Structure formats: structure tokens, C-alpha cells
């Protein structure tokens, strides 16, 4: 029996629903982060903005308080990038990503990696990081002291990739973590051992709940783990199958939301590196092809974006001057007045959240 076809518009609305972007949801912060399988946290601020755009009544101190209670963990996960996870999910899945991180080490360092004595290096780094949180400047200096003449940067990168580490939050900071955060061993900080289960099939179900319907290649793009075909086969009896407009196989959970194509999608502001933009091999459900090169810088930083009718419609920045905060929208195409009005309303609310000390907030349009 042929599979039903899901249009790009249908995929857009289905994934927006799972990403909590069709309406702000009443959900606790840990439950939301668990549902989303973490939030991109290359920088400290984006997870706060990501949840503000997704949850009703989200307050700025909620993430920080939970991180200080060690219920949330910021560490290297999907795609070898920093994510904010529930502590439970970090412990459960961090080991699954270790082969990816080891491969990233070899890929980035190339011949420099072969010159490293990894067992000796990690034996030096591990107790040092376990004593107290350390910045990587401190880690590299310590390694160089004990491995005289070693490649300082390579040793630091190897430590970051090969040891499960947590970035330690601090009280009293605007976004929970300083720019130069201290790191410590995950198992010591969280008080539990990491799982050694290397079965990726449970993660397939979690991914589809947050980002589906999706292809195997989509999940590989989100996770960085390849191949995943066998993991999908393991849980295939729990999935339903569709086809996209290019006849590719899409997998999904039977009871996951797939709202009508004409479901309204409100304007939303998303922070840089938001996983909505980074979690599919084929991003056309959210990113028109002509917009894709406009979403990142030459050094691969994924910019803040805003969505109109569920698709990327521009980037945004924040300017602060003399007690005023201004959100500047850089639209990719001309916007109609009702859309601009909606962006102004949403943007002013965002500024009141992100810049509570500002005496004045405003939203402007670069073009």
C-alpha cells in the first residue's frame, strides 16, 4: 500500500507544533527541554530566548536556578556542539555521542591528533578538572606544565572532546554562565554515572517527537551520528511511514501532532543556532532555498532569525544605547503592514524579557 504524501507545508506545521512554535505552551522548563531533546547552547543566552518564544510565563531565572540545582546540564552533545540538556538526558545519551566526538577530534586535528598520547593526556586532565571547575586556559596551562613541549591547543581540544564535561553555572549572572565558563567532570557534578548503552533506537523516538516527520538523513544531520538506518529499523514497528514531495521516506510517531496545513503560525523570534534551523538534512520546510545562505556568517555562526508564517523571513539583532534597547529586523523580502505590526508587538515583548532594565524598547526595520 503506497504511503501518504506529506507536503512541505504539512511538514512545516507538524514540526512547528512539536517545536512549541504554533502557540506558547504551558509546560515546565525541564519538561520542555526534555521534549525538545535539549537546546543549542553554543552561547549562554540562546536557550533563554528559545524558551521564551515557546513557553507561557517563562522567567529568566528559571534556567539558571535549575542549572545551579544540577537538574540541567550544559555540555557537548549533538553535532559535537554545546547543548543545554536535562541532567537525566545528558547522563543517558552523552556516551552515545563519544564516537562522534572522537571522530571530530581526528577530523579537526588531522596529523596533530596522532602526536597526542591520549591516555597520558586524559590522566593528567581528569583529576585537575575534578578538583574544581577550570577554564580551558587553566586546563591548557596545566597540560603544558605536565607535557612540556606539547601542542597546547591540540591537548585542550582533545580534553574537551574525550572527557564528558559540564560547563558550571554561576549565580548572579545575566544568562547563567560567564563567557569563559569553568568546566568540571560530568559524573562528579551530576552525581551519577553516564550510561554505557550505545543503542540509538530510543533516541529515534525522541527525535521524531521533537522534529518529525523526518527521514533517516534528517536525524543524522541533527545528531551528527552516522549511520542510523539500523536504529530506525529497530523501532520501525512503532512508526508510521509517509513520503515527502520528492518521494523520500518519512518516519513519524503514530500519535504525534500533524495539524492541518492551514493552521495559523504566529511570528516568532528565534535565537542564534536555534535547533529548528539545524535539525534536518532538507531544511526547506522552514528555510526557502534562497534564504539559506543568508542565515549564517562566513565563520558558520547561525544568526538570530524571525519566522513569518512558519518560515525564515529575516534576521534580527539587538542594539543597546543610553538606556534604550532596539530590536532591528533585517527582512529578506518586503513585509506587509500586518506582519510588521505583529513583529513589532512580539519584538517589544522580547526586549522587555531580554533587557528588563531598558527604559525604552523599540522595534525597527533595516529595510
71: in domain: no
Give per-residue pLDDT as tens, 221-256: 999 999 999 999 999 999 999 999 999 999 999 999
Provide the pLDDT for residue 136: 96
Q: Give all strands (DSSP E) within the chain, no chain letters.
A: 4-5, 39-40, 72-76, 82-86, 165-167, 183-185, 240-243, 249-252, 268-270, 305-308, 311-321, 324-331, 360-365
Predicted TM-score (pTM) of the model is 0.96
CB contact burial 72-96 (16+ within 10 A = b; e otherwise): bbbbbbbbbebbbbbbbbbbbbbeb
Provide the pLDDT for residue 1: 46
Show the domain range for 310: 287-365
Give per-residue pLDDT as tens, 64-103: 999 999 999 999 999 999 999 999 999 999 999 999 999 9
312: in domain: yes
- Domain tally, the chain: 1
Alpha carbon 240 to its chain centroid, in Å, reads 26
306: in domain: yes
Q: Does pLDDT of 273 surpass 90?
A: yes
Query: Cell numbers of 352, please?
Result: 522587555
* Measured distance CA(70)–CA(256) in Å, rounded: 30
336: in domain: yes
Residue (of 271, 339, 277) closest to 309 by Cα position: 339
What is the 8-class DSSP label of residue 43? S
Give per-residue pLDDT as tens, 34-51: 999 999 999 999 999 999
316: in domain: yes
Q: Does pLDDT of 198 surpass 70?
A: yes
Give per-residue pLDDT as tens, 300-327: 889 999 999 999 999 999 999 989 999 9
229: in domain: no
Q: What's the whole-number mean pLDDT along residues 184-200? A: 98
Q: Are strands 240-243 and 4-5 parallel, antiparallel or unpaired?
A: parallel
Q: What's the whole-number mean pLDDT along residues 25-39? A: 99
Q: Share the mean pLDDT of the chain.
A: 97
Q: Does pLDDT of 217 surpass 80?
A: yes
* Measured distance CA(148)–CA(18) in Å, rounded: 51
341: in domain: yes
346: in domain: yes
Band (pLDDT 50/70/90 cuts) for residue 2 is low
Give per-residue pLDDT as tens, 108-131: 999 999 999 999 999 999 999 999
Angle at 181 between CA 179 and CA 184, to 5 degrees: 165
Amino acid at each position: 500500500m503506497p504511503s501518504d504524501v506529506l507536503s512541505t507545508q504539512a511538514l512545516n506545521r507538524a514540526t512547528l507544533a512539536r517545536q512549541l512554535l504554533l502557540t506558547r505552551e504551558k509546560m515546565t522548563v525541564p519538561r520542555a527541554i526534555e521534549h525538545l531533546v535539549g537546546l543549542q547552547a553554543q552561547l549562554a543566552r540562546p536557550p533563554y530566548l528559545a524558551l521564551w518564544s515557546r513557553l507561557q510565563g517563562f522567567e529568566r531565572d528559571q534556567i539558571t536556578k535549575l542549572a545551579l540545582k544540577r537538574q540541567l546540564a550544559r555540555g557537548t552533545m549533538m553535532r559535537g556542539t554545546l547543548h543545554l540538556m536535562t541532567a537525566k538526558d545528558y547522563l543517558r545519551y552523552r556516551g552515545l555521542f563519544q564516537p562522534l566526538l572522537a571522530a571530530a577530534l581526528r577530523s579537526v586535528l588531522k596529523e596533530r591528533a596522532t602526536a597526542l598520547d591520549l591516555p597520558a593526556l586524559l590522566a593528567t586532565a581528569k583529576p585537575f578538572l575534578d578538583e574544581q571547575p577550570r577554564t580551558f586556559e587553566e586546563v591548557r596551562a596545566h597540560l603544558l606544565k605536565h607535557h612540556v613541549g606539547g601542542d597546547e591547543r591540540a591537548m585542550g581540544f582533545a580534553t574537551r572532546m574525550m572527557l564528558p564535561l559540564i560547563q558550571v553555572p554561576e549565580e548572579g549572572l545575566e544568562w547563567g554562565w560567564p563567557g569563559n565558563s569553568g568546566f568540571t567532570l560530568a559524573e562528579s557534578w551530576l552525581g551519577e554515572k553516564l550510561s554505557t548503552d550505545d543503542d540509538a533506537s530510543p533516541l529515534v523516538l525522541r527525535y521524531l517527537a521533537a522534529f518529525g516527520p523526518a527521514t533517516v538523513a534528517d536525524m543524522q544531520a541533527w545528531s551528527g551520528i552516522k549511520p542510523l538506518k539500523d536504529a530506525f529499523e529497530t523501532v520501525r514497528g512503532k512508526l508510521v511511514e509517509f513520503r515527502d514531495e520528492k518521494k523520500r521516506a518519512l518516519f513519524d510517531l503514530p500519535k504525534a501532532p500533524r495539524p492541518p496545513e492551514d493552521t495559523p503560525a504566529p511570528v516568532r523570534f528565534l535565537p542564534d543556532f536555534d535547533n529548528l534551523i539545524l535539525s534536518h538534512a532538507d531544511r526547506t520546510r522552514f528555510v526557502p532555498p534562497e534564504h539559506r545562505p543568508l542565515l549564517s556568517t562566513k565563520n558558520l555562526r547561525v544568526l538570530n532569525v524571525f519566522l513569518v508564517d512558519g518560515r525564515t523571513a529575516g534576521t534580527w539583532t539587538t542594539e543597546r544605547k543610553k538606556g534604550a534597547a532596539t530590536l532591528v529586523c533585517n527582512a529578506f523580502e518586503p513585509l506587509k503592514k500586518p506582519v510588521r505590526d505583529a513583529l513589532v508587538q512580539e519584538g517589544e515583548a522580547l526586549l522587555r524579557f531580554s533587557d528588563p532594565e531598558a527604559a525604552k524598547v523599540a522595534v525597527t526595520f533595516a529595510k
